[in-house]
């Protein structure tokens, strides 16, 4: 692993919210009657916090010791255990981040993400991840960037996220936003002009190559980019290019207090570097993502992770909508014990226990 401090700086960026903060909850509930979008956009588990942030940050320091700085984006909040004066952690408020701070407060991760182009001091190469994504094992910078470009894969889908898909899978605001991303990409980029090396890399599966063949020679436009909910490399140059092309749509999204039909997501930037060929093609299978709604699912996921030592990145995505405090406590306890097993040592930016 290359941990040479003279190499190109690579920052980590992640958003975080303390959904139990009384002041934040009061503000959210004040604006909630204005929401007119889909119900899933205001689901309580969207803001639930099982204390994973501590282990996300530990995992960066332990398993990516080459990192330059961590930017933690918050609604004027910070965890009580965090050293706010640490030189390698910078807390960025929404007020500092937003291009149009008059739109605040927002409770919409899409609106927050689309302001990243305005993050001052961010390194040219950076990695974005969510506060439920942990880097479980040592990972070199070359896993994320090579030749100054993101290491990524382009695997096109088989089924449009249209009426049939939504009838089968259900309607939700996330699908709306992904479709909006793709509609913008199709204005500028065309698969027929993309070099074959980006579509048929040896690391891609046979199914990936078949689907990409249909994309390039039959569909001739994009309707589905496969992605995983894992740490994602980006460049600032891509964010700036995307903003230059789609400024009106991005600013409209950043004004959405809650998720809305015209939302975009940070994946718009990923779709841009894929469709423009600004990436190094390689498809790794070193991640694990699992929706968790009960202790049985969580224990099964933990057993799987203990057995598969090749997995680097994990996301145990909380989908539990129950208000049962005993059930939530059990999930919290199981998850904390698992992370504590792999990441028992405090990071340099954690305060000492009182």
Q: Residue 283: count other Cβ atoms within 10 Å of its Cβ.
A: 16
- Residue 183 neighbours by CB under 8 Å, 6+ apart: none
Read off the pLDDT band of 168 (50, 70, 90). Answer: low
pLDDT at residue 5 tops 70: no
pLDDT at residue 322 tops 90: no
pLDDT at residue 274 tops 60: yes
CA distance 251 to 247: 6
User: Which of 9-13, 163-167, 226-230, 270-274 is the least confident region?
Assistant: 163-167
Q: Supply the range of the domain harboring residue 84.
A: 10-154+224-342
Give 73-78's long-range contacts (Cβ < 8 A, gap of 24+): 73/13, 73/14, 73/15, 73/16, 73/97, 73/112, 73/119, 74/15, 74/16, 74/17, 74/18, 75/17, 75/24, 75/105, 77/16, 77/17, 77/18, 77/21, 77/24
Q: What is the pLDDT of residue 167?
A: 66
Q: What is the pLDDT of residue 320?
A: 66
**265 burial level (CB within 10 Å; 0-12, 13-18, 19+):** buried
Mean pLDDT of 332-340: 92
Check which CATH number belongs to the domain holding 323 and give it.
Answer: 3.90.550
pTM for the complete prediction?
0.92
In a domain, 195, yes or no: no
CA distance 13 to 126: 7
pLDDT at residue 278 tops 50: yes
In a domain, 20, yes or no: yes
pLDDT at residue 352 tops 60: yes
What percentage of residues in the chain have a pLDDT greater than 90?
Answer: 76
Domain count, the chain: 1
User: Which of 64-78, 323-337, 338-352 is the least confident region?
Assistant: 323-337
Q: What is the pLDDT of residue 187?
A: 97
Q: What is the pLDDT of residue 326?
A: 83
pLDDT at residue 6 tops 50: no
Q: What is the pLDDT of residue 70?
A: 98
In a domain, 167, yes or no: no
Mean pLDDT of 254-278: 96
In a domain, 211, yes or no: no
pLDDT in tens, 181-224: 999 999 999 999 999 999 999 999 999 999 999 999 999 899 99
pLDDT at residue 44 tops 90: no
| Residue entry with tokens 């501590």 | 54
Read off the pLDDT band of 46 (50, 70, 90). Answer: very low
CA nearest neighbour of 134 among 341, 296, 350: 341
In a domain, 87, yes or no: yes
E strands present in the chain: 10-15, 70-74, 89-93, 125-128, 133-135, 145-146, 149-152, 232-235, 280-281, 287-292, 313-318
In a domain, 32, yes or no: yes
pLDDT at residue 14 tops 60: yes
Q: What is the pLDDT of residue 170?
A: 65
What is the per-residue burial (b if ≥16 Cβ within 10 Å, else e) of 116-127?
bbbbeebbebbb
Mean pLDDT of 277-303: 93
In a domain, 207, yes or no: no
CA nearest neighbour of 92 among 116, 109, 126, 111: 116
Decide which of 54 and 292 is more confident: 54
CA distance 207 to 217: 15
In a domain, 176, yes or no: no
User: Which of 24-38, 44-58, 79-93, 133-147 is the least confident region?
Assistant: 44-58
CA distance 83 to 263: 34
Q: What is the pLDDT of residue 159?
A: 77
CA distance 166 to 177: 13
């Amino acid at each position: 692993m290359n941990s040479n401090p003279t190499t190109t700086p690579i920052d980590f960026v992640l958003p975080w919210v303390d959904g139990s903060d009384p002041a934040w909850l009061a503000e959210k509930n004040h604006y909630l009657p204005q929401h007119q979008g889909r119900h899933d956009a205001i689901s309580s588990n969207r803001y639930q916090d099982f204390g994973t942030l501590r282990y996300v940050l530990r995992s960066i320091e332990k398993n990516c010791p080459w990192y330059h700085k961590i930017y933690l984006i918050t609604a004027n909040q910070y965890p009580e255990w965090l050293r706010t004066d640490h030189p390698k952690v910078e807390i960025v408020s929404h007020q500092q981040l937003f291009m149009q701070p008059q739109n605040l407060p927002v409770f919409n991760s899409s609106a927050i993400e689309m302001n990243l182009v305005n993050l001052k001091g961010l390194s040219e190469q950076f990695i974005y991840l969510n506060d439920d994504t942990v880097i479980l094992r040592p990972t070199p910078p070359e896993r994320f960037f090579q030749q100054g470009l993101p290491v990524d894969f382009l695997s096109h889908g088989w089924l449009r996220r249209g009426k049939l898909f939504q009838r089968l899978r259900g309607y939700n605001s996330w699908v709306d936003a992904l479709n909006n991303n793709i509609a913008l990409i199709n204005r500028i980029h065309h698969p027929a002009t993309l070099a074959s090396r980006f579509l048929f890399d040896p690391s891609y599966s046979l199914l990936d190559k078949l689907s990409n063949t249909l994309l390039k020679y039959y569909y001739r436009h994009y309707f589905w980019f496969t992605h995983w909910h894992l740490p994602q490399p980006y460049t600032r140059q891509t964010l700036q290019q995307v903003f230059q092309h789609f400024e009106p749509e991005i600013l409209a999204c950043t004004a959405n207090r809650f998720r809305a039909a015209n939302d975009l997501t940070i994946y718009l930037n990923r779709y841009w570097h894929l469709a423009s060929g600004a990436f190094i093609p390689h498809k790794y299978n070193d991640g694990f993502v699992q929706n968790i709604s009960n202790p049985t699912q969580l224990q099964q996921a933990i057993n799987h992770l203990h057995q598969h030592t090749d997995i680097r990145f994990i996301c145990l995505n909380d989908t539990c909508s129950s208000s049962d405090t005993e059930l939530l406590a059990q999930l919290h306890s199981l998850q904390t014990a698992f992370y504590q097993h792999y990441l028992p040592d405090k990071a340099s930016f954690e305060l000492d226990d009182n």
